[in-house]
A and B are shown apart, each in its own frame.
Chain A
Amino acid sequence: MILAQLSNFEGPSIDWLPLTPQIILVVAALVILLVTSLSPAKVSDSFSTAVTVGSGVAAGVVAWFVWNDIRDEGPSSTVAGAVGVDGFSIFFTILTLSALVATSLVGHSYIKREQMAAPEFSALLLLTAVGAIVMASANDLIVLFIGLEALSIGLYVMAAMQFRRREAQEAAMKYFVLGAFSSAFFLYGIALVYGATGSTNLVNIAAYFNTIGSRINNLELFYVGMALMLVGLAFKVAAAPFHFWAPDVYQGSPSPVSGYMASAAKAAGFAAMLRIFFVAFSRTSADWTPIVAVLSAITLIVGAVMAITQNDVKRMLAFSSVGHAGYVLVAVQAATSDGTSAALFYLFTYTFMVIGSFAVVSLLGWNDGHDVSRYEGLARRRPLIAVAFTVFLLGQAGVPFTSGFVGKFLVIRSAVDDEIYWLAVLAMVVSVITAFMYLRIISNMWDREVDVADAPRLSVPLTTGFVVVVCAMITVVYGVIPQSLIEFARDAVPVLVAGG
């Protein structure tokens, strides 16, 4: 009986080209694991990094072709409307791939120094990147949840890669417990929204609100579900008051992994938030924008106040990353196309600033800590690294001629256009407060009084140095000529297309 049904089963038509970037990454991860475990001789760590970087670049090239198709033929969806193919998914594919390649290069030298397992690191990096891309391109809440879990579960393991260190174990366990907790919240939200609207597909949910008319039933169910989903995603992007895990996890994890969490994982969380709330729940935006506005205000204040009281550079960057989530939320609560493209611009530029920052941290910090005093006199020991780190910190503070300034400008303008003036003013005040923390690290680096004659030589591996310099250049270039990225972000506003 069941077999008879199976023979009549007809699967959905699949457009393979838009899925090729994810497939390339999965195949690369499998190749790394297979080759390193089956090869009789020990495979060099460079093999894993080379495959990771190569597949990341290849996936980026394919994404570029898909992007050209989308510009010619308009956005579409595939796999029975479960995966969206639009500028938004391409934007986050490229963002994730950038984070993947940069983290892989920084991790390459870090792994060697800390004697971690290179093939596992590369494979997990690739698979989490797939999770992030699936999340950003999901057109169905269940696909989105699968992407979220592929990303999160990989990150729990990556946080624990130095599994004999007490701090790494603690960071991973805290991340796991709170991550599982927030995933469950998110999933329960999906269940309630499914019960209220009758579908997990974002197109159908949006259509439900367009046709709902006067028969408002199950609305309470929907609101509870929406709130639970917002809480779950707020955990993932480390928005206050759901940020408690972030400082501990960023501090205890390997530095390249912390940078990856703050860039790719945070961006994927915001991608999910924008897709669900801005597009599918757009008809109820009057209900959720005030909540997101309050969330962003709390996040901004907590990020700033907690950051300036820290002495550990990794914790400082963690709280600053909480604060940056607040800025993106300011753009999200505007619930406009301009606000969304501002959020995209902000996330893209922040990716390079934070990965560069954690790359520098991975050079200076060892197992014995990341105290801010370690950065004293860095300008005379390693001038190029000090200049690059200064660029990252000034960029995060939002100083003109860095991409951070343009990002903050766009975000605050979206709040002003939306006439939420109190939030715009708060965002500006907070950026002044956090500048104090960034300037504290910078003044430590450029302190002339410090004696650096007997400081140990700071070795800068080629791959890490390359990433730091490139990230600094990107931060400056998009600060001076941001137009191309602004246009890309404008074309990347998410749209929903029903499956054929």
Chain B
Amino acid sequence: MEVSANWYLVLGALLFIIGGVGLLVRRNPLVMLMCVELMLNGINLTFVTFSRSLGDIAGQTVVFFVLVVAAAEVVVGLGLVVALVRRQPGVTADDLNALKG
């Protein structure tokens, strides 16, 4: 059985969906951060696959930009998680309920 480009596209879509669903259903802030990474890596795989099937190098350079952005995002996200856990150890997303109207 030959592994075609579509397999990688489907894998990328699955990673993206797993990350997206995980972000919505998981309550641990650290796991939520990991889910964001999963979504971005699914996208990276999609970019590389298209880059290869189109024979265009641009899609692979995009991945470097996305990796840098993901790193910056995680830095801020971890900072926020640390601030949250310091105030309330073992905090989950359900504890964030002070704001409503």
Contact = CB atoms under 8 A, between A and B. Distances in A.
B72 interface: yes
Interface residues of B, number: 43
Contact of B80 (A160, A191, A195): A160
Contacts of B49: 195
A169 B83 contact: yes
Nearest to B24: A181
Interface size class of A (residues with CB under 8 A): 35 or more
Nearest to A193: B50
Interface string B53-84: 11010110010011001001100110111011
B97 to A, nearest CB: 8
B96 interface: yes
A146 interface: yes
Nearest to A160: B80
Nearest to A174: B96
A400 B44 CA distance: 50
Chief secondary structure at chain B's binding surface = helix
Chief secondary structure at chain A's binding surface = helix
A171 B97 CA distance: 10
Contact of B76 (A156, A252, A312): A156
Contacts of B99: 167, 170-171, 174, 247-248, 251-252
B23 A181 contact: yes
A143 to B, nearest CB: 9
Interface in B1-35: 9, 12, 16, 19-20, 23, 29, 32
Most interface-central of A164, A169, A310 (chain B CB within 10 A) = A169
A191 B50 contact: yes
A126 to B, nearest CB: 16
A176 B12 CA distance: 23
A69 interface: no
A123 B99 CA distance: 28
A181 B58 contact: no
Contact of A187 (B40, B76, B77, B87): B40
A482 B23 CA distance: 46
B87 A166 contact: yes
A194 B98 contact: no
Contacts of A312: 101
A163 interface: yes
A157 interface: yes
A167 B59 CA distance: 40
A128 B79 CA distance: 18
A149 B98 contact: no
A163 B80 CA distance: 9
Contact of B84 (A146, A169, A192, A251): A169
Interface in A172-197: 172-174, 176-177, 180-181, 183-184, 187-188, 191-192, 194-195
A198 interface: yes
A390 to B, nearest CB: 23
A463 interface: no
Nearest to A228: B16
Given A181-B36, A251-B101, A149 B69 contact: yes
Interface in A229-246: none
A146 B101 contact: no
A146 B72 CA distance: 11
Nearest to A179: B73
A172 B98 contact: no
B36 to A, nearest CB: 5
Interface of B: 9, 12, 16, 19-20, 23, 29, 32, 36, 39-40, 42-43, 46-47, 49-50, 53-54, 56, 58-59, 62, 65-66, 69, 72-73, 76-77, 79-81, 83-84, 87, 93, 96-101
Given A181-B20, A252-B98, 8 more contacts: A170-B98, A173-B84, A184-B19, A184-B43, A188-B46, A248-B99, A251-B99, A315-B101
The 8 A-B residue pairs with the shortest CB-CB distance, nearest first, are: A195-B50, A184-B39, A248-B99, A191-B46, A170-B96, A180-B36, A315-B101, A149-B69
